[in-house]
Structure 1
Amino acid sequence: MIPGPFLLYLGHSVDEVGIKTSRGLATFRREDCVGEWRHDDSPVTLGMPRMGVAEASAADARTLVLGIANAGGQLEAAPAGDALVAIAAGMNVASGLHQRLRDVPELVRTAADAGVALFDVRDPAADLRVGTGKFRAGNRLLTVGTDCSVGKMCATPALRDAMRAHA
């Protein structure tokens, strides 16, 4: 389990679609988020308090969520540098990018020295059961799409919440 509360990273983002993980947390787990970290050149916002690492630490944030995406899902220099700042302040870092945090030696070394964790959320559990088409007890909702960034991540919890409200 990734420890909260979370500081949602928007960084230098200019693309509303590219902040999808941060937007999902702000929408569906807002109570677990202390604010958003965006730089002056970023016009996008989630309507949360804008703060840097010092303010987030004072608000008890435990994990910086790199809730951004770019073509190819690579960790760029600016968010990697900002992650190092968060680590130095004692925060964990979580990312859903295709490039794993554990593959960036400087992040791994700095996190180990600081005693914090790196979370690559695209790593499935070793015992994850995948669909076989065979009957299973219980109710399930499967959302699929033909591309990335088409709305599956935000549509799924919205549908779940609506179905729970009608149950």
Structure 2
Amino acid sequence: GIVGHLAAQLFHLNGAHPIIGVDRIPARLEIAEEYGITTLDANDTDTPQAIRRLTNGRGADVVVEATGNPAVVIPALQSVATGGRAVLLGSTRGPVDQLDVYTLIHRNRVRLIGAHEMAQGYDYAQGIRWSRAENLRLLGSLFASGRIRSDALISHTIAPDEALTIHEKLSTRPEEYMGVLIQWT
């Protein structure tokens, strides 16, 4: 989805390699490949095993779970290298069944990071770098300069009166919709 694609682009800007994107929707995998991301189709593969193959058996140094789906948390943790980090960027809601904290987190020394933008203040005193305001300024600059792209991530442009209809379709037909832009003018 959009969150995962944008996260992948930010990791790329910071020198991460390889960047591996996992999805179940072929169209989203195609977009990821256009952006230079190595892809895995979660329908066809044991994702943790495939990630270990792509990383010479090590696992990923950083895994970003961007779906928010509790069922994806365990495979994400199984994909992390020993001493690596797992970022729950998708704001996972709901219980994660059968999570073996000792095996997947403690024994492998995995740092589990909950990433929620609202935990940051809007702005801070001088000298504190990351706030919501600073993040917005930086992202605006990265988009304006073309260092982060969103062209392929917008699948539909709609009028405001279509928003409720499209909102339902976003959750029931994700294979047809990626990002929806509301045209206010």
Give the alignment's TM-score, normalised by structure 2.
Answer: 0.46
Query: Quick check: which has more Rg, 1 or 2?
Result: 2
More strand by share: 2
Structure with larger RCO (C-alpha < 8 A, sep 6+): 1
Give the alignment's TM-score, normalised by structure 1.
Answer: 0.50
More helix by share: 2
